[in-house]
């Protein structure tokens, strides 16, 4: 249905408050006009638009579900069926919730105009945020609601961002402000192994070969293909100091949560004046290994970016023994 564009005048303060809480001004005005017409026609007893949380869908996967139930069910569906990470699903549901909150319609009734108005409400936004929103909506409507309403919205391309890595001097200054043997050991393992943040947090004692300084993290999902990596002598010495402090009953190597790690690194960043995170240390490792002359294919192997099919097909090239030799020849250091 083609809608007619009209101009209305409203109190500036009212308009500001409406935009602040995300109200769709044009749709609210239209609903008010419809309600007024119904009342004039003697049908004012019947509510034109039931409360969104109470309005039910009548077809498809969302049948019989309120908005809240749809979001909860989609969260489970995306995690189990679509195999999306928890962080991705939380981001998707945040944007979907905002879209649904702006409309009185059920998910299957949402049309392109609703999506356009929602995207306009998010402006100004970066290209990466625009990309994330469109991606979230396309997955939600195509895979869960089973409509193609979002398919015409193209995902904007985002140009490559130059990788910024801290200097070795910066890492050393940050290291001096870490407040515990645990955090110092984790810092050096991150910086000299190239492992992902969660992979180091999830390491079990059985994943560590203390004699060879070798780490064999368990794959966390089908998209993560970590093979083996190593840590250097500096990390070895830090680990030896920390290990006697481990508590019984917890097989995790570092026995620390992600939030505790972030808080510890955050305090050191504040006192040292140098912002360091686990992902930054992963980037520094890749950059430093390249500077030391390590071929990019082996850097990818240490960082877990090599397809499993390649590892299996060219096992001798990527065997733990071969990678150990390449790692030791590189001689990566952080504190020297």
Q: Which CATH number fits the domain that encloses residue 214?
A: 1.10.443.10
In a shared domain, residues 124 and 185: no
Q: Is there a domain that residue 209 lies in? A: yes
| pLDDT in the model for residue 234 | 97
Average pLDDT of the residues in 64-76: 88
pLDDT at 18 over 70: no
- Choose the final residue of a domain: 145, 177, 204: 145
**Of the ranges 156-165, 199-208, 219-228, 299-308, which is most confident?**
199-208
Q: Is there a domain that residue 158 lies in? A: no
What pTM was computed for the model?
Answer: 0.55
| pLDDT in the model for residue 39 | 63
In a shared domain, residues 185 and 274: yes
In a shared domain, residues 111 and 249: no
| pLDDT in the model for residue 264 | 96
Instruction: Please say whether the dihedral angle defined by the alpha carbons of residues 297, 301, 304 and 307, taken in this order, is positive or negative.
Output: positive
Give dist(CA 227, CA 39) in Å, integer. 69
- Choose the final residue of a domain: 111, 145, 179: 145
- Alpha helices by DSSP H, listed for 205-257, are 233-242
In a shared domain, residues 179 and 325: yes
- Choose the final residue of a domain: 113, 145, 177: 145
Q: Is there a domain that residue 26 lies in? A: yes
In a shared domain, residues 208 and 137: no
Give Cα 243 distance to the centre of its chain. Answer: 31
In a shared domain, residues 57 and 125: yes
| pLDDT in the model for residue 58 | 46
In a shared domain, residues 192 and 111: no
Mode of pairing for the β-strands spanning 229-230 and 208-209: unpaired
Q: Is there a domain that residue 77 lies in? A: yes
| pLDDT in the model for residue 12 | 74
Q: Is there a domain that residue 156 lies in? A: no
Average pLDDT of the residues in 172-192: 97
List the one residue out of 123, 124, 235 whose CA is nearest residue 185. 235
Measured torsion, CA atoms of residues 168, 173, 177, 181, in degrees rounded to the nearest 10: 40
**93-109 pLDDT tens trace:** 999 999 998 887 888 88
Tokens 């569906």 found at: 77
Domain range enclosing 294 = 168-330
In a shared domain, residues 202 and 136: no
Neighbours of 11 (CB within 10 A): 8
Q: Is there a domain that residue 159 lies in? A: no
Q: Is there a domain that residue 94 lies in? A: yes
| Maximum separation of any 2 CA atoms in the chain, in Å | 87
Total tally of structural domains belonging to the chain: 2
In a shared domain, residues 54 and 106: yes
| pLDDT in the model for residue 321 | 93
In a shared domain, residues 180 and 325: yes
In a shared domain, residues 128 and 181: no
More confident residue, 164 or 77: 77
Q: Is there a domain that residue 162 lies in? A: no
CB 256 within 8 A of CB 186: yes
| pLDDT in the model for residue 11 | 77
In a shared domain, residues 140 and 188: no
Coil, strand, or helix at residue 208? strand
**88-146 pLDDT tens trace:** 889 999 999 999 988 878 888 899 989 999 999 888 888 888 999 999 999 999 999 88
What integer best gives the mean pLDDT of the chain?
A: 84
| pLDDT in the model for residue 56 | 47
């Amino acid at each position: 249905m083609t809608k007619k564009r009209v101009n209305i005048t409203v109190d500036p303060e009212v308009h500001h408050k409406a935009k602040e809480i995300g109200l769709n001004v044009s749709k609210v005005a239209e609903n008010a006009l419809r309600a007024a017409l119904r009342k004039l026609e003697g049908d004012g007893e019947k509510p034109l638009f039931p409360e969104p949380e109470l309005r039910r869908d009548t077809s498809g996967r969302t049948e019989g579900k309120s908005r809240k139930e749809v979001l909860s069910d989609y969260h489970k569906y995306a995690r189990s069926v679509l195999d999306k990470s928890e962080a991705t699903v939380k981001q998707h549901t945040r944007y979907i919730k905002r879209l649904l909150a702006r409309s009185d319609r059920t998910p299957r009734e949402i049309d392109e105009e609703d999506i356009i108005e929602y995207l306009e409400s998010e402006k100004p936004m970066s290209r990466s945020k625009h990309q994330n929103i469109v991606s979230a909506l396309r997955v939600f409507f195509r895979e869960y609601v089973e409509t193609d309403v979002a398919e015409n919205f193209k995902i904007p391309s985002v140009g490559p961002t130059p990788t910024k890595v801290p200097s070795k001097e910066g890492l050393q200054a940050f290291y001096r402000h870490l407040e515990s043997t645990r955090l110092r050991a984790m810092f050096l393992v991150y910086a000299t192994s190239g492992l992902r943040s969660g992979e180091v947090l999830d390491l079990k004692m059985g994943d560590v070969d203390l004699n060879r300084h070798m780490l064999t993290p368990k794959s966390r999902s089908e998209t993560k293909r970590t093979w083996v990596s190593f840590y250097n002598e500096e990390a070895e010495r830090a680990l030896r100091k920390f290990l006697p402090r481990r508590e019984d009953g917890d097989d995790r190597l570092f026995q620390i949560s992600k939030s505790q790690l972030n808080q510890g690194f955050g305090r050191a960043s504040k006192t040292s004046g140098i912002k360091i995170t686990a992902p930054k240390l992963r980037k520094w490792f890749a950059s430093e290994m390249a500077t030391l002359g390590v071929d990019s294919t082996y850097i990818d192997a240490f960082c877990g970016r090599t397809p499993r099919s390649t590892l299996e097909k060219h096992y001798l090239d990527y065997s733990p023994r071969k990678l150990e030799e390449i790692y030791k020849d590189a001689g990566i250091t952080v504190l020297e």
